[in-house]
Amino acid sequence: MSPRTKTKATSGRNDDIGEATRLGLWRQCLEVRHLEKRAYDLFLQNLIKGTSHLSLGQEAVAAGFGVAMRKDDWSFCTYRGHAHTLVRGASMTGVLGELMGRECGLLGGKGGSMHLTSVEHGAMGSYAIIGAHLPIAIGAAWSAQYRGTDQVAVCFFGDGTTNIGAFHEALNMATVWTLPVVFVCENNLYMEYTPIGEVTAVEHPAADRAGAYGLPGIIVDGNDPDAVFRAAREALAKARAGEGPSLIEAKTYRHSGHSRADPGKYRPDEEVKAWLARDPIPMYRKRLLDFGVKEAVLDAIDAETRAAVDAATEAAKASPEPALAVIERDVWADGGASWRN
């Protein structure tokens, strides 16, 4: 099985992607970058409790899909899902508020960092138990197929997730039912602290398994927004055309530890250094400059996204704690929680 690598050379400002789309990618990368950094700061200030799993370093994957997806497509992601939720258009205040356990949070403080959801933006949930959302995503795809819309479900997960049973069941059924779903494995080389290579029978945990589901093995450079965007565009088109699922492995790296408290010390220094040198944000900035985009344009977007994060931070801080009454709300569709009459 030789996975085919999808990083076609980019040609220039007005190629198949074009400047406007690239600025969108740039903006989404920055939104994620700045928001995640802020989340980390707020955690250090003890304003974010619980856990949180940042996408620093992995921004290009969320952005590439975020820009390629249609508004009415659906996304499903993991506990490491701030990025994927944001790129669908969810409010920064809602995201930060939820991390801080405030009333303004996307989930009113009931879900927390690992469960960000914004149904109105098609962000159909962040799932904290490894693997579960892959079968759930195929259900959304089935629903689109059944109703004859051409919506697509996109499902993001990590390299470690490829070793759990639900991965296998979902991939098989997606092919058998020719479902419009795109599975995106963000291979950041590690589970929590264990290198994926130590616990996986194949080199490319997703791509080398694609054949087991009748799919081509696709690997993209997950640090290159253009590469991800192109792969996303192709897979989405395939799904929309009724040609079934895709499985894409995006190679990337997280800059910080697995979760809030983890300094990531288990990773060799040279490895970290090599990947920091491939930080998607300066790399993409350089490409855009090379293509002739004005520095001022890039910096303005940078400034705007920083300001947006600042404003969201203030709004979230100003939001009160949730009212205790919500504890017994919304177990059921009638809004309540009673299990007896």
Partner 1 sequence: MAELTYREAVAAGIAQEMARDPNVVFLGEDVAAAGGVFKATVGLLEQFGPRRVRDTPISEQAILGAAMGAAMTGLRPIAEIMFSDFLAVCWDIVANEIAKTRYMTAGQVTLPLVIRTANGGGSRFGAQHSQSVENWAMAVPGLKVVAPSNPADVKGLLAAAIRDDDPVVFFEHKSLYAVKGEVPDGEHIERLGTAKVLRDGRDVTVLALAAMVPKALAAAERLAAEHRIEATVIDVRSLVPLDTETILREVVKTGRVATVEENPRLCGWGAEIASIVAEECFWDLDAPIVRITTPHVPLPSADNLEDATVPTVERIVATLRQAID
- Minimum distance between the CB of residue 207 and partner 1, rounded to whole angstroms? 17
> In the complex, what is the shortest distance from the CB of residue 219 to partner 1, in angstroms, rounded to a whole number?
20
Nearer to Mg ion, 36 or 159 (CB): 159
* Sole binder of Mg ion in the list 188, 200, 256, 305 (CB under 5 A): 188
| Interaction mask 22-51, ligand TPP, x per CB under 6 A | ------------------------------
Instruction: Check binding of 200 to a copy of itself (CB under 8 A).
Output: yes
3-state DSSP assignment of residue 338 = coil
Distance of CA 317 to the CA centre of its chain: 25
Query: Which parts of 240-269 interact with ligand TPP (CB under 6 A)?
Result: 258
The site partner of 212 among partner 1, a copy of itself, ligand TPP, none (C-beta below 5 to 8 Å per kind) is: a copy of itself
What six digits make up the tokens of 39?
Answer: 């989340």
Contacts (Cβ under 8 Å, ≥6 apart) of 62? 28, 32, 55, 83, 84, 86, 87, 156
Distance CA 176, CA 247 (A): 14
**Residue 190 binding result from partner 1, ligand TPP, a copy of itself, none, given CB thresholds of 5 to 8 Å by partner type:** ligand TPP
User: Nearest Cα to 59, choosing from 17, 30, 98?
Assistant: 30
Cβ atoms of residues 82 and 93 within 8 Å: no
Give which of partner 1, a copy of itself, Mg ion, none residue 300 binds (C-beta under 5 to 8 Å, depending on kind): none
Q: Nearest distance from residue 334's CB to partner 1, in Å?
A: 8
CB of 104 to a copy of itself, least distance (A): 38
**Among the listed residues 129, 274, 289, 300, the single contact to ligand TPP using CB under 6 A:** 129
Q: Which of ligand TPP, partner 1, Mg ion, none sits in contact with 337, Cβ below 5 to 8 A by type?
A: partner 1
Q: What is the largest CA-CA distance in the chain?
A: 68
248-307 residues in contact with partner 1 (CB under 8 A) are 266
Among 72, 192, 243, 328, binds ligand TPP (CB under 6 A): 192
**Residue 195 within binding range of a copy of itself, rule CB under 8 A:** no
Q: Which of 166, 232, 171, 174 is nearest to 207 (CA)?
A: 171
Cβ proximity of 330 and 108 under 8 Å: no
Selected binder of a copy of itself within 76, 79, 157, 167 (CB under 8 A): 167
User: What's the angle, vertex CA 330, arms to CA 326 and CA 333, rounded to 5?
Assistant: 155
Q: How far is CA 172 from CA 146, 168, 183, 205, 247, in A?
A: 18, 6, 12, 16, 11
Q: Segment near a copy of itself (CB under 8 A), from 9-17, 165-173, 255-263, 317-325? A: 165-173
Could you tell me if residue 199 is left (phi over 0), alpha (psi between -120 and 50 degrees) or otherwise beta? alpha
Q: Mark residues 133-172: x for contact with Mg ion by CB under 5 A, - for none.
A: -------------------------xx-------------
Beta-bridged to residue 294, according to DSSP, are: none
Residue 32 CB coordination number (10 Å):
29
Q: Stretches 160-168, 216-224, 230-238, 281-289: which one binds partner 1 (CB under 8 A)? A: 160-168
Instruction: State how far the Cα of 111 lies from the Cα of 51, in Å rounded to an integer.
Output: 12
Choose, by CB under 8 A, the member of 168, 240, 267, 278 that binds a copy of itself: 168
**Residue 167 to residue 135: CA distance in whole angstroms:** 8
| Contact in structure between 140 and 107 (CB atoms under 8 Å) | no
Provide, rounded to whole angstroms, the least separation between the CB of residue 197 and a copy of itself: 10
Binding site for Mg ion (CB under 5 A): 158-159, 188, 190
